[in-house]
Structure 1
């Protein structure tokens, strides 16, 4: 269908997202990431075009380095862009159809990608809980928790705030110069994928063991619930969520 509607990477912001998420990059290109934020804020089609490009880079992509880079771009944009972009990426359609879909067991995602996606959903749900127009991500988060999915232990108070900083050029404003970073943040969203592992203390090991036991307990409950329902009453999402829980237990064991 791309030959009919055009590639999501053909737009100005789409081209930059393609470059910023290329597996050939040795590290995140923060100047390019912030330039993407500027285009989203300063153009009418920026939010929609960026969402399409990020979806294209994440969904069905087996190159997990590109997916992780796309998540970094996505996180950076949520923290530095305005409401117009938030409406797209916090919709139930995007959260379920792009983020949750990326960590289904059938895609065999690495655990670091699995935790990164869940951390983003959790952080956005907390940040936008009181914004009705962004309730899609909140409903997905609550639905996943209600179904028994365990989220990574995260100190939400320690996370970088999700907000749009003051800008020299207002959102959707007109600029006579080329797009360039103009953010007041001294340090953009810091990626969580450094790849360096810290030594685990006995206390931390005990805590992780307790959390694993909790996940296993939830898995047992979910399995019994699904075994007791009548044929046809269970949904495909319930079965996929059970697969996620099984994957978590296998990887944590």
Structure 2
């Protein structure tokens, strides 16, 4: 006899329904979260069976419920959808060869798998436990399936929250995750699973304290991140000029939202904390947020010359802390399936392809031929296709651009001629300045020297400049002298570039420059023409 949870799930996906009932779906999510234990596995197993229903309407209702559960039930449910059994059952009815026009069910499943790949296996704190989602994504691409384009809003709803969490909340989050993982390891019962379960039980019981996180320190790190964002936001607001629309700047909007959402929790902690030093630190951070929010309001009103005190100092960076990951769809190149992991250079090529659209032609190293061994491509329990991972320099080698119509470029100021050659200011935003000095070398070739300056008060790390020219030109970029620009530095980083222009056309370039500041990933794009 089916359990109450199973019966409610079957009722929510009844073929008699023609539209999903959001209230009922959220009630099911609440039941899963409240019961825990075997509830996530029971729910996932029931839903995936309904996804394979012969009734199209029932299958689509089950997929909507599945999406709601993934977005609302957290890690215990994520652990179930990342299991080999679940993923194999989810794609059980996929045809051996992709159909030219996939059914709505197949399209929705492809969308969900890609969404999980981006928001869970690339960004989750527990991504190491969810690797089979990425395996299935790669297998389907290898088979020739094309994944739909994702909506940023749906990915953001599943991505890890940046909201400030107290030490108790961080500890409780880990406890729930450890409990779910322990139950799954015991259920599988393989020798390696039982060894891992025994290790996990020692940690949960407090017997092995070597791997128990210091949640007080983790909370301090969270406060430091909020402080970093407040400082960075203030510096970006000070660089805004008349005519700039800050509401269209996603980085400024995200930073302001993160600071504003953290403030109520900081104010609550001030009333609950007993340590005077900690109270003083929280009060200082609260004042910083108040000031940066006031600066944001001034800039929004057109008042650019107001100044507020930002007394906090950037904390010492923790070298063991992983950098915050941003939502990015650039690495999901669906233009052609490939059974091999792309090297770093290929990922950079994909970045440029994202700038110029599908009509861009970006050169990249040829990929090895796929393995010839025949196997069930949808079976994650079997060995995946052999993969080749190579290391390469992140510098772009001879990118090119080809469009079916003549591209329209923004106008740029006329270059200034100096002893170093013609000077072009390629980028001057948020404290980053990139100048190009162009010197002719031969009839059709010129050397370009790029100088990077940092006018802000914080270092810019992981710097990467990417350039592309029309197909009629060839461009070669040498490695940068450094990937870090010190604060308040002038022309401290350089890069040599060789441009071949056989048809002697006017210089046209498009660029994407990325860097990290205060642990926040920044990205600027644009174009230049002579």
Q: TM-score, normalised by structure 2?
A: 0.30
Give yes or no for the alignment of 1:99 onto 2:90: yes
SS of 1:237's equivalent?
Answer: coil
Superposed displacement of residue 20, structure 1: 0.5
* Among candidates 6, 13, 16, match of residue 24 of structure 1: 16
What is the alpha-carbon distance in structure 2 between the residues aligned to residue 63 and residue 79 of structure 1?
Answer: 25
What is the alpha-carbon distance in structure 1 between the residues aligned to residue 30 and residue 78 of structure 2?
Answer: 14
Q: Which has the higher contact order (CA 8 A, sep 6+)?
A: 1
1:211 alignment counterpart: none
8 Å contact from structure 1 (residues 123, 156) kept in 2: no
Give yes or no for the alignment of 1:154 onto 2:150: yes
Residues paired across the two proteins, number: 175
Per the alignment, do residues 128 and 110 of structure 1 end up closer, same or farther by CA in structure 2, a change over 3 Å counting?
A: same
Superposed displacement of residue 33, structure 1: 0.4
Superposed displacement of residue 149, structure 1: 2.4
SS of 2:25's equivalent?
Answer: helix
Give yes or no for the alignment of 1:134 onto 2:124: no
SS of 1:76's equivalent?
Answer: helix
Superposed displacement of residue 156, structure 1: 4.2
Written as runs of structure 1 = structure 2, the 5 A alignment for 1:181-200 is: none
1:237 alignment counterpart: 377
Superposed displacement of residue 161, structure 1: 1.5
Moved over 6 A (4+): none
Per the alignment, do residues 236 and 143 of structure 1 end up closer, same or farther by CA in structure 2, a change over 3 Å counting?
A: closer
8 Å contact from structure 2 (residues 140, 377) kept in 1: no
2:112 alignment counterpart: 120
8 Å contact from structure 2 (residues 40, 77) kept in 1: yes
What is the alpha-carbon distance in structure 2 between the residues aligned to residue 139 and residue 236 of structure 1?
Answer: 14
8 Å contact from structure 2 (residues 84, 132) kept in 1: yes
Superposed displacement of residue 21, structure 1: 0.3
8 Å contact from structure 2 (residues 32, 39) kept in 1: yes
Cα shift readout 1:179-230 (whole Å, capped 9, x = no counterpart): xxxxxxxxxxxxxxxxxxxxxxxxxxxxxxxxxxx67x99xxxxxx89x95x
Superposed displacement of residue 18, structure 1: 0.2
8 Å contact from structure 2 (residues 118, 155) kept in 1: no
> Which structure has the bigger radius of gyration?
2
8 Å contact from structure 2 (residues 47, 62) kept in 1: yes
Question: What CA RMSD, in Å, does the superposition of the two structures yield over aligned residues?
Answer: 3.6
Per the alignment, do residues 27 and 149 of structure 1 end up closer, same or farther by CA in structure 2, a change over 3 Å counting?
A: closer
1:194 alignment counterpart: none
Give yes or no for the alignment of 1:45 onto 2:38: yes
> Hey, which of these two has a bigger chunk of helix by percent?
1
Give yes or no for the alignment of 1:85 onto 2:81: no
What is the alpha-carbon distance in structure 2 between the residues aligned to residue 146 and residue 152 of structure 1?
Answer: 16
Per the alignment, do residues 33 and 138 of structure 1 end up closer, same or farther by CA in structure 2, a change over 3 Å counting?
A: same
Superposed displacement of residue 110, structure 1: 5.8
> Hey, which of these two has a bigger chunk of strand by percent?
2
What is the alpha-carbon distance in structure 1 between the residues aligned to residue 108 and residue 31 of structure 2?
Answer: 25
What is the alpha-carbon distance in structure 2 between the residues aligned to residue 35 and residue 121 of structure 1?
Answer: 24
What is the alpha-carbon distance in structure 1 between the residues aligned to residue 160 and residue 6 of structure 2?
Answer: 21
What is the alpha-carbon distance in structure 1 between the residues aligned to residue 56 and residue 148 of structure 2?
Answer: 20
Superposed displacement of residue 68, structure 1: 0.6
What is the alpha-carbon distance in structure 1 between the residues aligned to residue 93 and residue 73 of structure 2?
Answer: 23
SS of 2:147's equivalent?
Answer: coil
What is the alpha-carbon distance in structure 2 between the residues aligned to residue 117 and residue 47 of structure 1?
Answer: 19
Where structure 1 has 5 or more consecutive residues not aligned to the other structure, the ranges are 1-5, 173-213, 219-224, 239-253
8 Å contact from structure 1 (residues 58, 102) kept in 2: no
* Among candidates 76, 81, 93, match of residue 68 of structure 2: 76
Where structure 2 has 5 or more consecutive residues not aligned to the other structure, the ranges are 164-171, 177-334, 339-368, 379-530
8 Å contact from structure 2 (residues 120, 130) kept in 1: yes
